[in-house]
Amino acid sequence: MRTFIAVDAHTSALPKLLEELSSIRGVKPVSPDTLHITLKFLGEIPEARVEEIHSAMKRAFADCYSFKFSIRGVGAFPSARSARVIWAGVTEGKDALIELQAKLEKELLKLRFPREKRAFVPHITLARVKSMQERNKIARFIAEHAHDDLGEVLASEVKLMKSTLTPKGAVYSMLREVRLR
């Protein structure tokens, strides 16, 4: 099964952005109920590994406390002019998310999950760009929302998620969670 470990990232402002993105041809917004920050993408794992991953999560987050993070601004990977992914950024609380990810990475290395090659950049994927036929609209959307205050989220648990790919997009289901203190 395809899996990842994440923190939920829901605010009242984000669904409005997703609705606006849905009007741009070639852009596929994520479902509002799936908004999250991925700490680690695990890929395909056998069901038998779920418990050992859950144990690693418990060890990683044993001394971690709940915290708030702020969502601010919109951007794109690799850039606004050649967007593949449109995202919302994290400001306050960013360091706490980076620390969570580092602790998780350390525990998962012990289970032989490879270390991420790129530096962890906390973000919320809003949409995937399937075609750049409306490149100017995409760039305008990003510029218009580059500094928007998009709300605050309380990070109080970290979840091991299963991702099932369907023609309508990914469907997520929670396998396990670890509550932060």
Instruction: State pLDDT tens for residues 103-119.
Output: 999 999 999 999 999 99
Among the listed residues 17, 20, 14, the one whose alpha carbon sits nearest the alpha carbon of residue 153: 14
Check 54, 123, 145, 147 and give the catalytic one.
123
Residue ranges and CATH numbers for the domains of the chain are: 2-179 (3.90.1140.10)
CA 69 to chain centre: 13
Q: Which two tokens mark 114?
A: 């490879």
Element (H, E) at 17: helix 14-21
181 residues of the chain, pLDDT tens digit each: 999 999 999 999 999 999 999 999 999 999 999 999 999 999 999 999 999 999 999 999 999 999 999 999 999 999 988 999 999 999 999 999 999 999 999 999 999 999 999 999 999 999 999 998 898 999 999 999 999 999 999 999 999 999 998 887 789 999 999 999 9
Active-site residue flag, 123: yes
pLDDT (0 to 100) of residue 175: 98
d(CA 13, CA 71): 10
Q: Where are the alpha helices (DSSP H) in 42-124?
A: 50-60, 94-109
Check 36, 54, 145, 147 and give the catalytic one.
36
Q: Whole-prediction pTM value?
A: 0.94
pLDDT (0 to 100) of residue 169: 78
pLDDT (0 to 100) of residue 81: 86
